[in-house]
Amino acid sequence: MSFFSKEKTYRDPIRWQKELRLAPAYLLLLIWIFFTVVLLGWVVLASFSTTKEIFANNLLSSGFHWENYEKAWVNSDVSTIFFNSLFYSLSSVFLLVLVCAPAAYALSRFSFRGNQLMQNAFVASMGVPVVMIVLPLFAMVAGLDILNHVIPNKLTLIFLYVGINVPYTTIFLMGFFANISRAFEEAAAIDGCPPGKCFWQIMLPMAQPGIITVSIFNFINVWNEYFISLIFGNSDQVRSVAVGLYSMINSMKYTGDWAGMFASVIIVFLPTFVLYLFLSERIIAGVTGGGVKG
Amino acid sequence: MKKNSAILFAFVSPAAILFLLVFLYPILRTLCMSFFKIDGVTDAFSKWQFVGLENYQKLLSTTLFRISMGNLFRIWAFGGILVLSLSLLFAVIITSGIRGKSFFRAMIYLPNIVSAVALATMWLQYVYSPKFGLLKSFFTMIHLDKLARIQWLSNDHKFMALLIAYCFGMVGYHMLIFASGIERISGDYFEAATLDGANRLQQFRHITLPLLKGMFHTNITMWSVSSVGFFVWSQLFSTVTADTQTITPMVYMYMQIFGAGNSVTERNAGIGAAVGVCLSLCVVLIFQLCNRLFKDKDLEF
């Protein structure tokens, strides 16, 4: 399941002739990955160096400078945007499961009027550009005078993150519920379990792999979301990491604190990276698995 | 059964209500807004002034908007060719029985999970940096001083720099979709082709490519959807407001409605709505084209 795990425990013996034929392929992959590693690695090293060292191109020549992180975390308030985004992501992920899992279950299991229409509408809305919905939403939110109050503003952001991800999450989870045998519900019904209880206690736990995968995606999406956060949450106490990082980068360019800027970049990068480190196989399977057709 | 339909309603309605509030109502209202002259986004309906197609006419005759559409088209077309060919190449390599497949796959997908702001900053402040940049150091090292002197973020090269940085992050996702398509093709085909004496390239041309039709469909659709929303990268790469090298329709709309800046001559939320409608039309058009292009279902496998 983790980044480092092997695909299978059984390994083919090395056939040198075959490997040699694949040499150009390996070379190409290695060049691409080498670049990725250099890109990320250099930024990590730069985040531990001083700005002077970065410009002189001799990173870390005076040892590790943890204070870059300390400064970014405390003085530049990376901690605020970090915890804001953590709050947004976790709440959205939780609410999305709460809203979408029952809907996905009902849509995949029962035939009722409007079922197909709702499915089609959800699929179509995944192609709708966000500019098509942002103006009326802004009018609604600004009309309620939400943008000047911190707590309502934060809740509005969560509402929007949840709303925008409802179609994707529902469609993704539908695939998982469709694959669960009906025998379980029938057995539960015979034992006298009401359908509502049956869903929460039997079906939901059985769809757990799908719920975990879609939650990881939702977490990453909300964590990295930029446009909605920019328009609906652009005040000091409300900013998410993406918007906060952007304004921080702009100010650090003028103060000339490159080391601090790279430290902030790494702090924002870290949570999704750590998730990926442990769950890459699951994430990769999820990209082509449910939801996204293909 | 009455009880069941109540439960069904309870299960579906939260998602349905959110969908109505966040998608359906805003889409209809935006469509409506695009035919009106509206001074402020928050203005009540009674203050709207019907102007018919005037917003669209104005938009299409605005040079900056036309430039932004041109940029978007270049990103979609050139970036699309670059990303899809690279991701197809990597997908073929990944599925060709190499060792360490899951490691390579995970590494190539990695940029997709990184915040676009963080990734763009890495490119801007490191790779393209004129002082300590990766490209500069690399070209200096191999003594190509002419290339080392290139100012990647100057107006002449900025668009290319933006496109390359953006495409680098997109390859992984499309590669995964191609790879899943290739893995679904039965090995029997390749075996039979090998027995008939077809080489690797012929097999790719006559087996893999035709059977990947569906994956091309998915990939082009997804690429188009993400291109239309091109915003963060453009904002990060532009040094001035209304930077003609990097502006895209979404940035233009943002400037019109939310951003200050001297380039805005007149505040009219109707024009912003018209930008949204234009982009949605582009998406619909591409969907239709793709459906027509990849429609034949005779390739069942």
All structural domains of chain A, each given as residue ranges with its CATH number in brackets, are 16-69 (no CATH), 71-288 (1.10.3720.10)
CB contact under 8 A, A99 and B99: no
Hey, what amino acid is at B129? S
At residue A6, the pLDDT reads 47
Q: How far is CA B266 from CA A152, A244, B257, B272, B300, in A?
A: 31, 29, 10, 11, 55
A294 — pLDDT class (breaks 50, 70, 90) = very low
**Residue B178 is assigned to a structural domain of this protein:** yes
Q: What is the CATH number of the domain that holds B216?
A: 1.10.3720.10
Q: Which of A5, A127, A284 sits opposite B105 (nearest CB)?
A: A284
Range of B115's domain? 61-293
Q: How far is CA B168 from CA B75, B80, B179, B229, in A?
A: 13, 12, 17, 17
Q: Give the ipTM of the model, two decimals please.
A: 0.89
Structure tokens at A86: 């953590």
Instruction: Using an 8 Å CB-CB cutoff, list chain A residues near B132.
Output: 54-57
In order, the DSSP letters of A44-100 are HHHHTS-HHHHHHT-TTTT---THHHHIIIIIT-HHHHHHHHHHHHHHHHHHHHHHH
CB contact under 8 A, A127 and B287: yes
At residue A11, the pLDDT reads 62
Q: How close, in Å, is residue B156 to chain A by CA atoms? A: 22
CB contact under 8 A, B114 and A224: yes
Test the B interface: residue of A33, A47, A128, A266 with most B CBs within 10 Å? A128
The continuous run of DSSP H or E covering B37 comes out as: strand B36-37
Q: How would you class B290 by CB atoms within 10 Å of its CB: exposed for 0-12, middle for 13-18, buried for 19 or more?
A: middle
Instruction: Using an 8 Å CB-CB cutoff, list chain B residues near A55.
Output: 131-132
Any CB–CB contact under 8 A between A3 and chain B? yes
Structure tokens at A251: 């100010």
Q: How far is CA B122 from CA A101, A212, B111, in A?
A: 37, 30, 11
Closest Cα partner for B22 from A219, A232, A108, A145? A232
CB contact under 8 A, B27 and A128: yes
Hey, what amino acid is at B295? K
Number of domains chain B is built from: 1
CB contact under 8 A, B42 and A138: yes
Structure tokens at A154: 């934060």
**Residue B25 is assigned to a structural domain of this protein:** no
CB contact under 8 A, B116 and A249: no
The continuous run of DSSP H or E covering B257 comes out as: helix B249-257
A60 — pLDDT class (breaks 50, 70, 90) = confident
Closest Cα partner for A39 from A257, A269, A211? A269
Distance in angstroms (rounded) separating the CA atoms of residues A45 and A48: 5
Any CB–CB contact under 8 A between A241 and chain B? yes
CB contact under 8 A, A135 and B41: yes
The predicted model scores a pTM of 0.90
Backbone torsion region of residue A181, taken as left when φ is above 0, otherwise alpha when ψ lies between -120 and 50, otherwise beta: beta
Closest Cα partner for B264 from B272, B273, B255? B255
At residue A95, the pLDDT reads 97
Do A229 and B232 contact (CB within 8 A), yes or no? Answer: no
A65 — pLDDT class (breaks 50, 70, 90) = confident
At residue A293, the pLDDT reads 36
**Per this entry, what is the length of chain B?**
301
CB contact under 8 A, B15 and A3: no
CB contact under 8 A, A249 and B121: yes
**Residue B298 is assigned to a structural domain of this protein:** no
Angle at B85 between CA B80 and CA B90, to 5 degrees: 130
**Buried (b) or exposed (e) across A246-255, using 16+ Cβ within 10 A?**
bebbeebeee
Long-range contact pairs involving B50-58 (C-beta distance under 8 Å, separation at least 24): B51/B270, B55/B268, B55/B270, B55/B271, B55/B273, B55/B274, B56/B274, B56/B277, B56/B278, B58/B271
Closest Cα partner for B110 from B54, B171, B34? B171
**Residue B140 is assigned to a structural domain of this protein:** yes
At residue A155, the pLDDT reads 95
**Residue B275 is assigned to a structural domain of this protein:** yes
**Residue B139 is assigned to a structural domain of this protein:** yes
Q: How close, in Å, is residue A123 to chain B by CA atoms? A: 12
- Mean local confidence (pLDDT), A45-62: 85
Instruction: Using an 8 Å CB-CB cutoff, list chain B residues near A260.
Output: none
CB contact under 8 A, A135 and B257: yes
Test the A interface: residue of B9, B121, B284 with most A CBs within 10 Å? B121
Q: What is the interface size between A and B, counted as CB pairs within 8 Å?
A: 258
**Residue B138 is assigned to a structural domain of this protein:** yes
A9 — pLDDT class (breaks 50, 70, 90) = low
**Residue B191 is assigned to a structural domain of this protein:** yes
Distance in angstroms (rounded) separating the CA atoms of residues A288 and B94: 15
The pLDDT profile of chain B, 301 residues, written as one tens digit per residue, is 456 788 889 999 999 999 999 999 999 999 999 999 988 888 888 888 899 899 999 999 999 999 999 999 999 999 999 999 999 999 999 988 888 888 999 999 999 999 999 999 999 989 998 888 888 888 888 888 777 888 888 888 899 999 999 999 999 999 999 999 998 888 888 888 888 888 888 888 888 888 888 899 989 999 999 999 999 999 999 877 778 888 999 999 998 888 655 455 567 889 999 999 999 999 999 999 988 888 755 554 4
Give the number of other Cβ atoms within 10 Å of residue B100's Cβ. 14
Search chain B and give the residue with CA nearest A262.
Answer: B122
